[in-house]
Structure 1
Amino acid sequence: MSSISLQQWEALFIQYLTQHAPTNDASHNISHFTRVWNTCCTINEAEGHKADALILLTASYFHDLVSVPKNSPDRNKASLLSAEKTEQLLTHHFAHYPADKIAGVKHAIHAHSFSAAIATETYEAAILQDADRMEALGAIGIARTFYTAGMLHTQMFHPTDPLAQHRPLNDTTYALDHFQVKLLQLPGKMNTATGKQLATQLAAVLTQFMQQLVQETTGV
């Protein structure tokens, strides 16, 4: 068993990512990884510490190790590529990493992605998936949605019908439509009771934002 503490592993992971992680996507950077880890800790504590903390820590920091653009046809392969690269990294770069935990890390990373549609088979995978999905909700989720829209050169919202009350939803054209197409469905897709509770609270922030935007754009 490794004698390195969680705090020491986290410092090592951050040091590696600072030197090697892609820097062209501010929605999948070290700040994102740290928030996911902190949310994993919150969920794991509330759920009775059922998950292995080192597996959670590792998967939190490396779940987006390979970045694939959201509009790429290979987007659904991103989590598998990240899982495979993380396995190689833990085996060859972090020589003291416990070998018996690598499979758990690999599965958690592979299963975390919404687009991969992989069933979670462990507590670690379930918690990581919940924590990562919560990054799409709340104020952070709003910021990340419109940041991504800017990267993809899509419009922020439909100028006369922002909530798509009289048109089909189209989140490839309008960023705000993504709230209804995907994000507001996330609370019902959470794996843990704690994740569902937190996600429901954060989803309310999106709903409030939508209402405020309609008021400002239409006066209704």
Structure 2
Amino acid sequence: MNKELIIGQTVKYVKQTLAEAEGGHDWWHIHRVWKTAQLIAASEKADELVVALGALLHDIADSKFHNGDETIGPRKAREWLQSINVEEAVIQHVENIITHISFKGGNHQQPFRSVELDIVQDADRLDAIGAIGIARAFNYGGFKNRALYDPAIPANLKMSKDEYKNSKAPTINHFYEKLLLLKDRMNTETGRKLAQQRHEFMEHYLKQFYAEWDSNFIV
């Protein structure tokens, strides 16, 4: 296999496929995850092609935008990779990454593991926290017409997978139900180091948010 050609063709395919995607799940999200995965992989013993393809294709058909169908993403990735004659073992590994990468609520157990999944999952989770993570959360909340915050609706940390998928809670709740949990769920040492500063930024942001919400700040 010509790895550079496969990756180059896949980049072009993903750009075309996600040209009209929601801003938090568009090509630039994919690009950031891909580059961060490469950074993490430099400190791990991993299959670079699987990492690249897993990162590039991980959101090729996110279930959130396909009526909750979690099979369409792995299926589209397989169809694409078969069309460019990628080896079956690589295709299966990429399918497993796409199937198991997503955060599915606080109580979900992940049945498949590999170092390549660990790397891509860390890269994806890093893009969900920090300054960009905050921007993505509110962008998606606006896309779904969700409230910014409602003090009467507390965060729910005991949701099942289905409850998490179907939640319509305000965007601020998402910080407690997912974003603030990710720092301690990083798989790699590099992921943990990168997550720490982004986590602290979110904590500072929330303090500022509540201060402004309650008009409890000095002019």
Alignment TM-score, normalising by the size of structure 2: 0.83
| CA-CA distance at 1:4 after TM superposition | 3.9
Q: 1:86 aligns with which of 71, 77, 96?
A: 77
Distance 2:73 2:109 in 1: 15
Alignment of 1:131-210 (within 5 A): 131-158=123-150, 161=151, 168-169=154-155, 172-210=168-206
Residue 61 in 1 paired to residue 51 in 2? Answer: no
Please, which runs of 5 or more residues in structure 1 have no aligned partner? Answer: none
Note the aligned Cα RMSD (angstroms).
2.2
Q: Which amino acid aligns with 1:129?
A: Q
Q: Which amino acid aligns with 1:185?
A: L
Q: Is the 8 A contact 2:6 2:84 kept in 1?
A: no
Q: Which amino acid aligns with 2:2?
A: S
Q: Is the 8 A contact 1:111 1:117 kept in 2?
A: no
Residue 30 in 1 paired to residue 20 in 2? Answer: no
| CA-CA distance at 1:169 after TM superposition | 2.3
Alignment of 1:16-55 (within 5 A): 16-21=13-18, 23-47=20-44, 50-55=45-50
Q: Which amino acid aligns with 2:54?
A: A
Which deviations, in whole Å up to 9, do the C-alpha atoms of 1:13-32 show, x marking residues without a partner?
12112333361312111111
Q: In the alignment, which residue of structure 1 is the partner of 2:2?
A: 3
Does the residue aligned with 1:168 lie in a helix, a strand or coil? coil
Which deviations, in whole Å up to 9, do the C-alpha atoms of 1:127-153 show, x marking residues without a partner?
111111111100110001000110111
In the alignment of these two chains, the number of paired residues is: 203
Question: Percent of pairs identical after alignment?
Answer: 29
Distance 1:117 1:22 in 2: 33
Distance 1:117 1:65 in 2: 23
Q: Which amino acid aligns with 2:62?
A: S
| CA-CA distance at 1:117 after TM superposition | 4.8
Q: In the alignment, which residue of structure 1 is the partner of 2:122?
A: 130
Of the two structures, which has the highest relative contact order with CA contacts closer than 8 Å and spacing of 6 or more? 2
Alignment TM-score, normalising by the size of structure 1: 0.82
| CA-CA distance at 1:168 after TM superposition | 2.5
Residue 105 in 1 paired to residue 94 in 2? Answer: yes
Does the residue aligned with 2:42 lie in a helix, a strand or coil? helix
Distance 2:57 2:7 in 1: 11
Please, which runs of 5 or more residues in structure 2 have no aligned partner? Answer: 157-166
Which deviations, in whole Å up to 9, do the C-alpha atoms of 1:79-119 show, x marking residues without a partner?
x421122112111x213x23331111111111111127533
User: Residue 112 and residue 187 in structure 1: after superposition, are their counterparts in 2 closer, same or farther (change >3 A)?
Assistant: same
Distance 1:4 1:172 in 2: 42
| CA-CA distance at 1:196 after TM superposition | 1.9
Q: 1:121 aligns with which of 99, 110, 113?
A: 113
Does the residue aligned with 1:169 lie in a helix, a strand or coil? coil
Q: Which amino acid aligns with 1:174?
A: P
